[in-house]
Each structure stands twice: as C-alpha cells, then as structure tokens.
Structure 1
Amino acid sequence: MKEYYRLKETIVSIHANDASHVKAAKKAIVFHRSLLENYIRRDPYFQITLEPHSCYEDAPEVVRRMIDASNTMDLGPMSAVAGTIASLAVEAMVEAGASFAMVDNGGDIAYITDRQIVVGIYAGESAAKDVGFVLEPVDSVAGICTSSGTVGPSISFGMADAAVVFSENVSLADSAATALSNATDTGKKAVEKAFKVLDGIKGIDGALVVQGKYIGMRGNIPDLRRASVDFDCITKG
C-alpha cells in the first residue's frame, strides 16, 4: 500500500505492507517534527544558516543527526532534514515489524526491503528519461537522496538536474546530495569536477549526477533499467 501524508512542510509518500506500519511512520513524523520545531524555537539560527552549526548537549536525536551529516558536508543543518525525518519514520516502521518500508520525503528516500524494487529518476528535461535504479533486498535502513538545481523548490547553488547519493546513513545522503548539486555546473567537465565534493567522505556508497545531456557516476550504485517514471507519482506539494 501507498499513502500520501502531509504535515506542514513535510510531504511524504509512505509505502508499506500493513496499515499499522503506515501508522507508525506517521506517529514518528509527528513526534520528531515536534521535537525539531521546539528546538528551533530555542535556536532559530539552526533553521536558517547555510553553514556548519553546533547544537546544545540536550538536543534531540533528529537534531543531532542533522548536525552530524551537514557538518560533514560543510553545510547548514536543514540540508539533512528530509532524509533524517524519512529515516526516523522507516526505523519506526521496522520497530513495528516491517520488513518492507519506504518513505519518500520529496525525493529523499529511506527504505528497507525484502524484495527487489525499482526507484525511478526524475531529472526534468534532461537526458535521463524513463530509467530507474534497481534496489536489491536489504535488512537495514538505507537511503537514496536527490537534490536538484533545476527541479523542485529546494535551495541549490548548482545546475544539476539530479544529484543522487546512496548511503546507509540517510541524513548523510541528503546533505551529500545537496553538496553534490551545489557543486555541479554545466557541461561534461563540470559534472566530472562536481564529484570532488565527495572526496574523503566516509559512508557514501555511490553517487550519480545528471546535467543536461551528461550523466556521471561514482562508486557503487544500483543497476539501472528502463522504467516508466510517472510525474504524478512523484512526492511533491
């Protein structure tokens, strides 16, 4: 089953086998968003800075994960918010007994799966059309996060149509995708150069950049196959 769920700025698609797992994801989103909002009231700069930040010793888990990931990528904490919320939601689904669970938070996806699944790539008007990643079964939560300078409302300082990062640390995948998108200019050489922003970053399995007619890959990424990518299925506001 698939359920669309919106809580303020958080807009997700929840994929599960059982309604109780969907309920667990929603409960986790409400809980962790509330903790994050309360923290931002104490530290408003946390929400607006685009640079590395620190947090109070008693900061909740959602804040700590965002800080750790964004500082690793030399970015502000909100670069990791979508992936972090998605990961915490999937973790709650696993605690509720799920062996298959996926939360797509606006292109930042956390998942665990007991079957092969295909996740499509949407990169606007670029060369990447009707293609998707083949994700094999995994028994722990993993992430596939996407940022773009040409598609969607996210802040980006680059020209990537899609910058995709794979990691078992979903918060890190989210921040890294933002950094990769920021680093991408136009043209073949620019795509090659963009991957340097990931140099020395531990915990990233692989990455892909789509920019116009160019597609660059680095590290271990899932197999690609032809897939029907329906714009109406994309999680968006």
Structure 2
Amino acid sequence: MKEYFQIKETAVTIIADERSHIDAAKKAIISHRDLLERFIYSEPYFKIAMEPYDVPENAPEIVKRLAEAGNIMSIGPMSAIAGTISSLAVESMIDEGATYAIVDNGGDIALVNDREVVIGVYAGQSQFKNLAFLIPPKDKITGVCTSSGTVGPSISFGFADAAIVFSDNVSLADSAATALGNSTDINSENIETAFEVLNVPNIEGAVLIQDDKMGIYGQVPEIVKADIKYDCITKA
C-alpha cells in the first residue's frame, strides 16, 4: 500500500503492507509535529538557528534528536527535520507490527525492509540519470537522506545536485547530507574534499553528485540502473 500525506510543510509518501501501519505513521507525524511546534513557540530561534543548539533535558524527543544531529555536524537543528520525522513515523509503524515500512519525506527516507527495495536517485540536471540504490533486507531502520543545492526548496549553501548519506541514525543522515552539500563549491573538481565533513561516527557511506562528477565515500548499497519516474518523487 502507498499513500501520499501532507500536513503543513511536511509532505511524505508512506509505503507499507497494512493500512494500520500507514495510519500509525500519519498519527506519529501529526503528534511529533505538534510537539515541535509547541517547543518552537517557546524558543523561536530554534527554527532558524544555523549553528549547534542546546536544548533542555525535558524537551520533546523530536527536539532532542534534531539538536543532537545538528550539533554532531556543527550546523542548525532543523537540518535534520525531514529525516527525523521519517524515522519517528517508521518507528511507530514498527510498533504496529510492520516489517516493511518506508517513509519518504522529500528525499529524506527512513525504512525497515524485509525484502529488497530500490531507491531512485534524482540529481536534477546532472548527467547522472536513472541510477538507483538496491537496499538489501534489514531488520532495523535505515536512513537514506539527500540534500541539494540545485533541486528542491531546502536551504543549501553548496552546489551539489545530490548529496546522499546513509546511516542507521536517520536524523544524523539528514544533517550530514546537508553538511555534505554545504561543503561543495562551484568547482566540481574539488568534490573529494567535501567528504571531509563526514568524519564523524555512525556515517556508513555517502554519494555526492555535482555536474558531471560523482564521488563515493565509505560503504554504500549497490548502485543499479532503474527507470526513474519524476512523478514518484515526493514533493509538496
């Protein structure tokens, strides 16, 4: 089963075997967004901070995860928002009994999969077309998060067509993808040096696409050819 769901700025595609699993994801998204909005109402700078941010111990779980991921990557907490929501939604699906659950929040994906999953790469006007990652079955949550300076509405200070990071910590994958994208400059010949920002624990691997260059860092899933359909991309 597959359903598109949007609430305010959050637009996700949810995939699961059971309707109850999709419903669990939607409830989790609504609940955690509400907690985040309440926190931001009390601390409005949290939403726009571009640097590490300390939060109180009694902060909601979503706020703690955002702050932790941003702090690790030395950037603002909202850099992890899409991946964190995806992860919390998939965790709720697992609590409902799901062994196959995917939440794609505009290219920031959390999944648990008891079968192979193919995740396509969209890198805008880059020459790299119809590439995908073959994700093997796993019994724990995996994060596949993407940032871009040329595609989509997210804030990026770099020039990457696609900065993709893999980590079992989905919040960290999201912040790390942002940091990786930020580290690119207009000269794609320097693509290798951008990976230096990923020298932190728990990053499994990354792929960086810029213009006619593609770099690979660490361990990444098998890259395969696939027929990438633009209509399948989750967007608001």
TM-score range, shorter chain: over 0.9
- In structure 2, what is the Cα distance between the partners aligned to 1:165 and 1:131? 15
Aligned-residue offset at 1:52: 0.6
1: CA distance, partners of 2:224 / 2:132: 6
Counterpart residue type for residue 56 of structure 1: P
Q: Distance in 1 between matches of 2:3 and 2:128?
A: 27
Task: Specify the alignment match of 1:194 in structure 2.
Answer: 194
Cα distance between partner residues in 2 of 1:188 and 1:30? 40
Provide the C-alpha distance between the structure 1 equivalents of 2:157 and 2:173, rounded to a whole number of angstroms.
18
* SS of equivalent residue, structure 1 residue 128: coil
Once the 2 structures are TM-superposed, how far is the Cα of residue 189 of structure 1 from its aligned partner? Answer: 3.0
* Structure 2 residue 31 is matched with structure 1 residue 41: no
% identity of equivalent residues: 56
How far off its partner does 1:186 sit? 3.3
TM score, norm. by length of structure 1: 0.98
Partner SS for 2:75:
coil
- Deviating beyond 4 angstroms after TM superposition, the runs of 4 or more aligned structure 1 residues are none
**Distance of 1:105 and 1:218 partners within structure 2:** 23
- Looking at structure 1, the residues matched to 89 and 41 of structure 2 have their Cα atoms a distance apart, in angstroms, of 23
Distance 1:185 1:224 in 2: 25
Q: Deviations over 1:169-215 (max 9, x none)?
A: 0000000000000001234432111001112x000000000000000
- 3-state SS in 2 of match to 1:156: coil
For residue 106 of structure 2, what is the aligned residue in structure 1?
106
State how far apart, in whole Å, the 2-side matches of 1:16 and 1:80 are.
Answer: 23
CA RMSD of aligned residues (A): 0.7
C-alpha distance in 2 between matches for 1:231 and 1:110:
20
Q: Is 1:16 the counterpart of 2:44 in the alignment?
A: no
The amino acid that maps onto 2:207 is L
- 8 Å CA contact 2:188–2:211 kept in 1: the answer is no
CA distance in 2, matches of 1:158, 1:177: 11
Asked whether the 8 Å contact 1:187–1:214 carries over to 2, the reply is no
2:33 alignment partner AA: R
Distance 1:53 1:61 in 2: 15
Supply the distance in 2 between the matched residues of 1:216 and 1:19 (Cα, whole angstroms): 39
Cα offset for 1:57? 2.0
Asked if 2 retains the 8 angstrom alpha-carbon contact of 1:186 and 1:211, the reply is no
CA contact (8 A) 1:16 1:22 kept: yes
SS at match of 2:204: strand
Q: Is the 8 A contact 1:148 1:181 kept in 2?
A: yes
Counterparts of 2:151 and 2:46, CA distance in 1: 25
SS of the counterpart of 2:141?
Answer: strand
Unaligned runs of 5+ in 1: none
Q: Indicate the residue corresponding to 2:146 in structure 1.
A: 146
Instruction: Say whether 1:53 aligns with 2:56.
Output: no
**How far apart, CA to CA, are the structure 2 residues paired with 1:29 and 1:118?**
24
Gaps of 5+ in 2: none
Give the TM-score, by structure 2 length: 0.99
Alignment of 1:80-99 (within 5 A): 80-99=80-99
Q: Which amino acid aligns with 2:182?
A: N
| Counterpart contact for 2:12–2:234, Cα < 8 Å | yes
Aligned to 1:204, what secondary structure does the other structure show?
coil
Matched with 2:217 is 218
Preserved contact between residue 149 and residue 159 of structure 2 (Cα < 8 Å): yes
8 Å contact kept, 1:6–1:12: yes
Q: CA deviation at 1:20?
A: 0.4
- Contact 1:187–1:211 (CA under 8 A) maintained in structure 2: no
